[in-house]
Amino acid sequence: MLVKLAWRNLWRQKRRTLLTASALALALFLSLMTRSFQEGSYSSNIENAARFYTGLIQLQHHEFYTSQSIDDVMPQDNDFIDFAANHPNVTRVLPRIESVALAAADERSKGVLVLGIEPEKEDAYSNVSAKISEGSFFSSSGTSVVVSEGVSDYLGVKVGDELILYGQGYRGQTAAGLYTISGVIRFPLQQLNSQLVYMPLAEAQKLYSTPSLVTNWVLDVNNLKHLDQTVLELRKHYSPESAVKDWRELSPELAQQILMDKAGGIFLVYVLYGIVGFGLFATILMMTLERQREFAVMLATGMLRSKLSALLLMESAFIAMIGVIGGIVLSVPVMSYFYLNPLELTGDAAELMLESGFEPIIPISTDPQLVLDQVIIVLTMMCLCLIYPFVRVARLNVSRALKGGAHAR
């Protein structure tokens, strides 16, 4: 009976009902679009930055992160990496040798970061070969190297020239080798573009005297949402011999930047909710004051205050349901369009992203959890606005409310 009465009450004042529901729908639509673009851009930035160097997860010797020493290595064998490779959220595993050396050509020398990789796997992951500005990429069986533009410019070398690498190998052994430059790469991260040298993993292991050993395993995941759980499971398996680090530990600057930007975005969303919430509260306040005589009549004819409060709750639930459904119906086609046709940047912003190695687009996230979070916030806001009518009904003086006007207090 109360449900039927609540539904009929809504449509006695259609304009008021539609206005309240529209406010909720608009709040849900705007907040959902804002958060979806935010989360989409964060995911894109994380994956792009990680793909070019650190990866989303790394397996390292537990002392390598602080020591950066070639002595802190791990085995390169299937028995060691099988658990990670077979994890349902891990899509690929990439072995690497990462160390430093002194690069020399003619009379000039420069400290460089040497990265020994399996070129076919790395290229499939980060499309390294597409960033070659001169020459070509090497194969896994080759003995040549690819240098970054900064190294090439400083040493004055080009494709076909020879490069000497000299440093310290495993357990204090001398690391020295002469290599032919097969290509010059323009690396998207400026700090690395000035010092990076790529070489085949087998050659790096030979240079540093680390046969069947690597300094880190780079892991790519299928779903960023499950990254924390994946890291936790890997740590349980590999600790304490090896350290498992995610992109936040490997790139703390990027993590801080995203955290600050996210805090600003969430603040703006809550400002939006505050504005809409005050409008919603004003509507409910006006609705409650207008209906005081109606409430008094119902109480005078025998309706319990608890049932009257339940009636108001049902009416508000119907309005909230209409608003939420309206917001979702409005959001889905817009989100679908931008998911299939991401916003493309133009002008200086696009050039800056291209120079950084990123696509000049702003993707959108379609994570269902985002929708659920915003719906919960909208419903919470509605519940807060209902506190006033409930208190008003509980304290309503029936005799005064029946007189109406200034007596209805």
The answer as to whether 301 is a domain residue is yes
- Which of the listed ranges 23-32, 66-75, 253-262 does the model predict with the highest average pLDDT? 66-75
Q: Which residues contact 27 (CB under 8 A, 6 or more apart)?
A: 272, 273, 276, 277, 327, 378, 381
- Asked if 278 and 221 sit in the same domain, the reply is no
The answer as to whether 381 is a domain residue is yes
- Asked if 7 and 68 sit in the same domain, the reply is no
Contact by Cβ (8 Å): 118, 94: yes
The answer as to whether 58 is a domain residue is no
d(CA 276, CA 282): 10
The answer as to whether 361 is a domain residue is yes
Tokens of 178: 């002469």
Where a domain ends, among 238, 266, 289? 238
Average pLDDT for 2-7:
79
Q: Name the more confident of 393 and 357.
A: 393
pLDDT, tens digit (0-9, with 9 covering 90-100), for 274-300 = 877 887 788 778 777 887 888 888 888
DSSP state of 341: S
pLDDT, tens digit (0-9, with 9 covering 90-100), for 193-228 = 889 999 999 999 999 999 999 999 999 988 888 889
- Number of domains forming the structure of the chain: 2
pLDDT band at 406 (very low <50, low <70, confident <90, very high): very low
pLDDT at 77 over 70: yes
Residue % of the chain over a pLDDT of 90: 33
- Asked if 35 and 84 sit in the same domain, the reply is no
d(CA 310, CA 1): 12
The answer as to whether 249 is a domain residue is no
Q: For residue 228, give its domain range.
A: 63-238
- Asked if 97 and 148 sit in the same domain, the reply is yes
Kindly provide the b/e burial profile for residues 377-399, where b requires at least 16 CB atoms within 10 angstroms of the residue's own CB: bbbebbeebbeebbebbeebeee
Contact by Cβ (8 Å): 128, 137: yes
- Asked if 301 and 370 sit in the same domain, the reply is yes
pTM over 0.85: no
- Asked if 275 and 210 sit in the same domain, the reply is no
Environment class of 285 (CB within 10 Å of its CB; exposed 0-12, middle 13-18, buried 19+): middle
- Asked if 271 and 369 sit in the same domain, the reply is yes
- Asked if 67 and 205 sit in the same domain, the reply is yes
- Asked if 149 and 186 sit in the same domain, the reply is yes
pLDDT at 397 over 50: yes
- Asked if 102 and 218 sit in the same domain, the reply is yes
pLDDT, tens digit (0-9, with 9 covering 90-100), for 322-381 = 888 998 999 989 988 888 888 777 777 666 666 555 567 778 888 888 888 888 888 888
Where a domain ends, among 203, 238, 273? 238
The answer as to whether 243 is a domain residue is no
Q: How many CA atoms lie less than 13 Å away from 97 in the CB half-sphere?
A: 30
pLDDT at 391 over 80: yes
